Amino acid sequence: MRAKRIRSILAAGLLCTVAAPASVIADDSVDLAPYAMLRSLQFVQDTVVQGDHSAGEMQRFMLATLDKRLRTANASVFEDPRNVDAAMIYAMSGGNPATLEYLASRDVAGHFDSRVADGLRKYLSGKGNLAAKNLAEMAEEYRDQKIGPYLALVSGNVAVSRDPKAALVHYDWARLTAPGTIIEEAALRRSVAIAVEANMVPEGLLYSRQYARRFVHSPYASQFADFFVDLVVGHFGQITEADIDGTVEFMDVDRRREVFLRIARAAAIRGNAALARLASAKAEALAGNPSDTPGSMARLYGGVADISTSAVGSAMDAISAIPEENLSERDRALLQAAKAVASQVIAKPEADSLAQESPVNLDDTTQAGSSSASTGNEIAGTSPNANDPVAGSQASFDPAFKTFVDGGRSKLDALDELLKEETASP
């Protein structure tokens, strides 16, 4: 329904030249000013980040239509500064960079600011650092113009790698001058990313709340969720349960559950048991049916968190009851690893597994003394094997027990490798 409404609005905008003849309307070269067409493109893009993902197809159509109009426009069209701005904004809105190059190279009348055109040319070709200073100056100069918010966003993008705090200043200005638009969405999402990377916890929480309140239905909201999860897991303690709830309260139930599941998984893998239990409990409470996929995921992450506690027995029972068909391939691997570790923790060795081939004479200090002397190690407890009951030379344990311990270690090593891969994966 909303997509149809957008099409009808666009159609009205394209036909607002009052009763145009049908032959002109049908003509692909309809003489509509580029700045008027840009308004339709901006409306569609803003609608997309507000949650209407079906408008994406219309966005592609509008970009292609505006591109054709700009390339076929008579040079006199650009005597109107609004059409010059439209060409610049089109290039910064996902349009074809070659079109701006085409127009600027044919601008003999000087309608295009060559500094802006050159800066954008470098930025759009991946060489924005070469024009960083000029772009920042032009963002200041054009602050109150139509292209101001776009130049501020571009300047922020260029500044991120060398001066993140300066980038935040550009993003703040872009947000303030283009509220509710795709410009604000992009600037706010990137501000969250900078805050997370720079360990700016209060700022990260502030930006996250603003994003969750305004753009949680954006097609880019999943990227924001990744940043927010990293912020929470990396700084839980400084970030409280109330801080997390204060951010996700703006989301619907499904999105809140998804965020809690992501937090629980990341926390379980990174060994933050307290956060994993908290987030998995909240996710499970929002899951509705505990036997469905979200419920199974919540129980898995909570169970993984409990393996390292005295509740390992109940954790083993809980994760063993999880239907594997409800889990993704990655979570099935995590489930199997958790089972392997839990089984080693709760397994009881056989009665004779601790038997020693020869008794140890605790009163005999001669061997210990000679061992210490022979190694030249005068500090107690610093011998490489001093605390290793298996590798120690004073007692040779039953082979069955050694096999049991070695097997447990190999499984733990395998789990460590799995968790390293999980942590490194995007």
User: Concatenated DSSP letters for 166-179?
Assistant: HHHHHHHHHHHHST
Which pLDDT band holds residue 185 (cuts at 50, 70, 90)?
A: very high
- pLDDT given at position 425: 53
Greater confidence (358 vs 246) lies with 246
User: What crossing angle do the helices spanning 293-306 and 312-320 adopt, rounded to 10°?
Assistant: 150
pLDDT above 80 (res 155) = yes
CB atoms within 10 A of CB 351: 7
For residue range 101-111, list pLDDT tens digits in order. Answer: 999 999 999 99
Q: Indicate the domain borders of the chain.
A: 1-112, 252-350+397-426
Long-range contacts of 113-117, Cβ-Cβ distance < 8 Å, separation of 24 or more: 113/138, 116/88, 116/142, 116/147, 116/151, 117/88
pLDDT at position 24 over 90 = no
Per cent of the chain over pLDDT 70 is 63
**The pLDDT of residue 360:** 43
| Lowest mean per-residue pLDDT among 14-23, 63-72, 415-424 | 14-23
62-93 as b/e, with b when 16 or more CB fall inside 10 Å? bbebbbebbeebeeebbeeeebbbbbbbbbbb
Q: Which residue has the tokens 């390992």?
A: 312
pLDDT at residue 20 is higher than 70: no
pLDDT surpasses 80 at 60: yes
Per-residue pLDDT tens for 257-301? 899 989 988 988 888 888 988 998 888 888 765 556 776 677 667
Average pLDDT, the chain: 77
Is the model's pLDDT at 402 over the cut of 60? Answer: no
pLDDT at 27 (0 to 100): 47
Q: Is the dihedral of CA 309, 339, 426, 277 positive or negative?
A: negative
Kindly list the distances between the CA atom of residue 32 and the CA atoms of 36, 100, 116, 125, in Å, as whole numbers in the listed order.
7, 19, 25, 29
pLDDT at 353 over 90: no
* DSSP state string for 252-289: -HHHHHHHHHHHHHHHHHTT-HHHHHHHHHHHHHHHSS
The pLDDT value recorded for residue 277 is 85
Q: Please check whether residue 27 is in contact with residue 15, taking contact to mean a CB–CB distance below 8 angstroms.
A: no
Residue 265, pLDDT score: 86
**Across the strands, what pairs with 239?**
236
pLDDT band for position 352 (50/70/90)? low
Residue 313 pLDDT > 80: no
The pTM is what? 0.70
Residue 347 binned pLDDT confidence (cut-offs 50, 70, 90): low
Average pLDDT rounded to a whole number, residues 396-409: 50
Which positions ≥6 away from 118 have C-beta within 8 Å? 131, 134
Amino acid 272: pLDDT: 87
Residues 6+ apart with CB under 8 A from 204: 192, 195, 196, 227, 231
pLDDT reading at 48 higher than 80: yes
Structure-model confidence comparison of residues 416 and 267, the more confident one:
267
Q: Is the pLDDT of residue 14 over 90?
A: no
Residue 192 pLDDT > 90: yes
